[in-house]
Structure 1
Amino acid sequence: MQSDVGMLGMKRNKVLIKVINLYLIMTIIYYFFGRYDWTIPSNLKLFIYLVLLLLALNIGYNFKYRFAISHRNNHLYNSVGFMKKERKVFLISCFSIIVFQIAWVITVLGSFDISNIFSSLGENYYERLSFTTEESVFIMQLRTILWGLTLFAYPIGFIYFNKLTKVEKIIFLTTITIDILASLNMGVSKPIGDIVIILILSLLVKKGENKKTNNLFSNIKLFRNIAVLVISFIIIFGVIQQIRDDSTDTQASTFENPYSKFADLRANTIFDIMFLKNDTILKVVDRMGAYISHGYTGLAFALELPFENTYGIGFSRALIEYTEQYTSISVNENTYMERIEVEYGWPNGVYWPTAYTWFASAFSFWLLPFIMFFLGYIIKRVELRYREYGDIYSLALLSQLFILAIYLPGNAQIFQSRAALFGTLLLIFLYIYTGRKYEK
């Protein structure tokens, strides 16, 4: 027998796609009306194409899918969803993060600082960029291959935090602390951002699962909690970026418009009115706004270029590197990222081109709406499987897909680095391998 879980979930479990839509729309609004007046070939073409991709994502998400009947009922709020197997995976994942992140910092910087992080954050960031022998160190090779083990700790820890024992809670909080300290040591904010994104996802999943919380008060509480998380991350992000800037010899005035070759600054924006021209707030908003939306400029440039074949691997820098390393075949010069640097000066590897541009490098802009349809469909399919069965493999994969959705305006994050690629492939394999008993 089969149950139309797609129809069951459509009415009350749309909170995830609503948040994704809201976020993507906000990035588009900031891009066109924020501090930077971008000089691109066609604002209209870019806007229409972004709307098309957003529609394709939503159509895919709302596509019906059937699962076999589940015998689990409200797994998030009983003991069925978190048993002995899940606890073992959770602990292995936590210890993997602790070991691999400490090893990462020590390999690159020589020591793991826990007391004087902010004073050397900027220097460490640029030292990390100049470190080129990371992949030749055994522990780092092991970290790359086994990175998928680290992708279970946060989804499981946040969703099932109340079911953890005291020792497990201590281990989980220690894991978060070590990961944050490692990020600060290296002068990067992405690992912290991933923690925040997965925590937000856990709030959304719990919200969509519990029928009793579908009221105005709970919605306000959810919005408040997400707002606190986002604002906290924006503050941390602003501090990290400012310290990076201060650590260079370049004059501060340069950072008023880091995109001066591609955009002018607007004296007044709708955000000036919203935040009453508070310079401190606006500086953080503009820095974060540009961070999550500047990639649309790379997309606008890429839309002007014809497709060149990358044999389906152009969506991943890691795949491109592996192909060149083991076959001596290079497709990098065929990617949109490389060609928009040649044609327009948009620096490959420095500024983002959007995840859309990465996927288009593999499949073309003509096929990209179908890729977005497929992404929306997969997100919904994985989400429904987790809601119906509560298995940790769909939960971990859903977390990575949510990160991918959040980074659509920036980069195809879950496929870019070698560690991220191995981790994503492991989750996909486990999801498919364990799905035979769920999907008919």
Structure 2
Amino acid sequence: MTQLRRTPVRLPSDSAGSPRLPSRAADTAGQRNLGKLYLPYLVFALFNVGTYLAFLYGPFAWPIRNAGLMSGLLTAFFVFYTAGYVFGAQRQVGRPGREVTDWVVRHLGVLLLVGVLVFAASIYVYTGEFFWNTARIFGDQQENYYDTLRYGETSSSLLNAPFVLLKIVLQPLITLGLIYATMNFRRLKPWEKGALLAVYLFWVLFSVFRGTDKEIFDIAVIFLTATAVNYYRSLTGRVSLAQLARSLLFVTLAVVTLVGFLSVFSQRKLTRTGGQTNICVIEAGVCARGTDTPLGYVYGLTVAYATHGYYGMSLALQEPFNTTFPFGNAPALKPLSDAVMGEEYLEHSYPNKIDRRGWDNGVRWSTAYTSWASDISFWLVPFVMFLVGLVTALSWKDAVLNESLLATAVFSFMTTMSLFLSANNQVGIALDSLSAFIVITLVWLVTRTYRLRLRGH
């Protein structure tokens, strides 16, 4: 049976039997390397400040009327995130959650095979296509995108509903298995390496067949965060040729992943629009400047993708507040809201209000802040940002200093959330990813303090 027991203060041992540093000593060692502790904060600051500056001064001339109010609120969000991150960086590291890690290791092969089957089946369940039709799907992304929309409107829910529930249950386990296998690739058996690569492949194909970018971005973040945690665990504080080589390898992997993502993203958008290089946001009546060259097109498309949510937020700030608590913060909660509160309840959310003004929330974004504000108002969102900063710091610290698999998974989710703040609540778009985030985070928080005894452990 599963039991929780308070962890006594003692010196844990590593796999070789040597005593490990207690949490206070580990914290002291970690404080010596501020670069290690504050790397995620630096990424957050550069990315989110950069996206807002690109919104204000980039290739689009957005017709915003409340730039001062927006800038003030975003500054408050940044300050509260900073306070939460600093507070979390000063906390003691938690327990590593070895029980869960050991369970994942014992069942790793099964988890990877389940991941392959689930994502291969997802392609058919969500799109009506078999994965061996990949060549045709890549050939015409525009037709594929609209075919997927039509299939979703006409397909039977008899198969969809049970499969969605199954995927919700399995997604947390698949995520943990995928992250562990990625971080320990060299130690995997040959067939496990093949299964891991197959999970990545079918996850990406699932996104391609659906005509969306969410899953491709999710898998890129999982890979990069797992690699980053692995790399920073290896740092000893001393500069050596081996460390420099690892740093170069990590930077190269990050750049290649980013360039690959932008290339696939741009190619899919270009084919979806029939080869037109004009980038216009019709709802706002603006078009990007200088998109007639390949580099200009990629730049304009990236800026449009990463920043147009701020315009949606500016529209939402002009609307009155009517709470949709607790369902308005995540699109994935709409079916539950409809069943509990009625289909009219979420009409009061900010995204739906600006949708009625012409900002289509089916294809346009309005930032994660706007989704959270639908439940609690914009004036309380700074406290949400404090929690985001706190959980990000704690999970990064536990992942790097205490080698916690659960914390690594939570940090991956928090990275996705942070990189999509200017767009939407990315973690809350689909029920499977939202359930994985909630379940893994709750188990991580419990195991930071308590010893979790699993059946058969």
- Mean CA deviation greater in 146-155 or 18-27: 146-155
Partner-residue secondary structure (3-state), 1:116: helix
Asked if the contact 2:207–2:216 (Cα under 8 Å) also holds between the matched residues in 1, the reply is: yes
Q: Post-superposition shift, 1:85?
A: 2.5
- Aligned position for 2:143: 123
- Report what 1:376 is aligned to: 389
In structure 2, the residue corresponding to 1:91 is in which secondary structure?
helix
- Match for residue 324 of structure 2 among 296, 310, 313: 310
Q: Which amino acid aligns with 2:355?
A: E
Cα gap change, 1:91 to 1:53, in 2 (>3 Å):
farther
Structure 2 Cα separation of the partners of residues 213 and 126 of structure 1: 53
> Contact 1:383 / 1:394 at 8 angstroms: preserved in 2?
yes
Contact persistence 2:47–2:419 (CA under 8 A)? yes
Q: What does residue range 183-198 of structure 1 map to in structure 2 within 5 Å?
A: 183-198=207-222
Q: Are 1:256 and 2:269 an aligned pair?
A: no
Query: 2:92 — aligned with what?
Result: 67
Change in Cα spacing, 1:292 to 1:91, as seen in structure 2 (3 Å) is: farther
For 2:406 and 2:198, the matched residues in 1 are separated by 23
User: Letter of the aligned partner of 2:185 in structure 1?
Assistant: F
Matched, 1:25 2:49: yes
Rounded Cα–Cα distance in structure 1 between residues aligned with 2:273 and 2:237: 44
Secondary structure of the corresponding residue to residue 39 of structure 1 = coil
Q: Which residue of 2 aligns with 1:348?
A: 361
- Residues 56 and 369 in structure 1, CA contact (< 8 A), matched pair in contact too: yes
- How far apart are the structure 1 equivalents of 2:438 and 2:351? 23
Unaligned runs of 5+ in 1: 247-251, 269-276
Does structure 1 retain, via aligned residues, the 8 Å contact 2:367–2:425? yes
* Count of residue pairs brought into register by the alignment: 417
The 10-residue stretch of structure 1 (3-12 or 56-65) with the greater mean CA deviation from structure 2: 3-12
Give the equivalent residue in structure 2 for 1:41: 65
Aligned to 2:5: none
Q: Contact 1:27–1:293 at 8 Å: present in 2 too? A: yes
CA gap of 1:68–1:45, structure 2 versus 1, over 3 A, is closer
Does the 8 Å contact 1:158/1:202 carry over to 2? yes
Q: Which moved more, 1:382-391 or 1:13-22?
A: 382-391
Q: 2: CA distance between counterparts of 1:402 and 1:306?
A: 31
- The offset of 1:368, in angstroms, is 0.5
1:401 maps to: 414
- TM-score, normalised by the number of residues in structure 1: 0.85
Q: What residue in structure 2 maps to residue 294 of structure 1?
A: 308
Question: Is the Cα contact below 8 Å between 1:28 and 1:293 reproduced in 2?
Answer: yes
Alpha-carbon spacing, 1:297–1:91, altered in 2? closer, same or farther (3 Å): farther
Runs of 4+, deviation exceeding 6 Å: 80-83
| Larger mean Cα displacement after TM superposition, 54-63 or 220-229 | 220-229
CA 97–340 in structure 1, closer or farther in 2 if over 3 Å, else same = same
**Cα distance in 2 between the residues matched to 1:129 and 1:143:** 21
Alignment of 1:39-438 (within 5 A): 39-64=63-88, 65-67=90-92, 84-107=102-125, 108-112=127-131, 113-130=133-150, 131-132=152-153, 133=155, 135-137=157-159, 138-212=162-236, 217=244, 222-246=250-274, 256-265=278-287, 267=289, 279-328=293-342, 330-342=344-356, 344-437=357-450
Instruction: Deviation per CA, 1:389-415: give whole Å up to 9, x if none.
Output: 323222212211111111111111111
Task: Tell me which amino acid in the other structure corresponds to 1:227.
Answer: V
1:220-246 C-alpha deviation (Å, 9 max, x unpaired): 654443222211110010111112222
| Alpha-carbon offset, residue 89 of structure 1 | 4.8
CA contact (8 A) 2:230 2:400 kept: no
Runs of 5+ in structure 2 lacking a partner? Answer: 1-8, 10-22, 453-457
Structure 2 counterpart of 1:13: 37
SS at match of 2:273: helix
